Amino acid sequence: MPPEPFFAGPGLDRADSLRADPDRIRGLAQSGDARELVWENGLPAIGDSGKLQWCPASDPALFLGIDSAGVPSFTALQPEIAGGPAVFSLLGMLDSEDAPLFATALSLARWHLRHRFCANCGSETQIVRGGWSRRCPACSAEHFPRVDPVVIMLAEHDGKLLLGRQHHYPPRRYSALAGFLEVGETIEASVARELREEAGIEVTDVTYVASQPWPFPSSLMVGCTARSLSGELKVDYGELEDARWFTREQVASALGGAIDAAFQAPPPHAIARTLLERWLAS
Ligand SMILES: [Zn+2]
């Protein structure tokens, strides 16, 4: 069986029942047992072993949960969050067991950094529920950390798979097409629309395969497959640099890392790779 998506996994017990009790959360944060995530250059620090780094807690604001050994785990608010290519090279070093927690801490800390004011009335909001919500003292609106769903999909026709290149991809990289789900849309409708817009194909049999969080900044990648009714493409070159069909042999060769492969496969932390691995195994 191909591996699970990189950012999927249990992470840690989020202990939702504790979040409603601020005294309990504060008590945990100030207890000698609690640990606090170490950050470095605007990202959770990753040690030589690929594991996240921790220090004794100093009353941090955001409660991440309880780890498998029963240790309360926190992170402090961050004054800045890094972005750009440096982040993606860091992912190559990250241990997959710690990946869900990395994603949670990064998205949550960034959300607090970017959402300090009420979207309803503009007043400064207050952190509640151990950092899993912000409440407005002026209008009582409650705001929750956002999750932005993105559909990412492989279309199949005649035993071949459709993959595309975005303009910013590394040389020879091809990957699954993707796009944000819009309000009022189902996952199935969104997959069909994205493939129609970017590749000019009509699809049927949209099937969910797997999902994973993608903390840049707070997406949920919803991985699907679909069957194309035709092999004829009409690529939107504004969105994509190229899109084409690849055979099963070409996909196998790319995933195997062959130097003469028809394309360079997406990296292990991308759910596109999981989708390709699952398709090949099917
Ligand atoms: Zn308000």
C-alpha 142 – ligand 1 centre gap (Å): 8
C-alpha 112 – ligand 1 centre gap (Å): 15
C-alpha 139 – ligand 1 centre gap (Å): 4
C-alpha 263 – ligand 1 centre gap (Å): 50
pLDDT for res 84: 76
pLDDT for res 31: 86
pLDDT for res 59: 86
- In sequence order, which ranges of 150-234 are alpha helices (DSSP H)? 187-199
Q: Splitting the chain (282 residues) into consecutive groups of 10 residues, what average pLDDT does each group show?
A: 79 91 92 94 94 94 93 96 81 91 95 97 97 98 97 98 96 97 98 98 98 94 98 97 98 96 95 96 92
C-alpha 160 – ligand 1 centre gap (Å): 52
C-alpha 144 – ligand 1 centre gap (Å): 13
CB 95 within 8 A of CB 49: yes
pLDDT for res 90: 84
C-alpha 150 – ligand 1 centre gap (Å): 28
**CA 238/CA 135 separation, integer angstroms:** 41
pLDDT for res 88: 80
**CA 164/CA 141 separation, integer angstroms:** 42
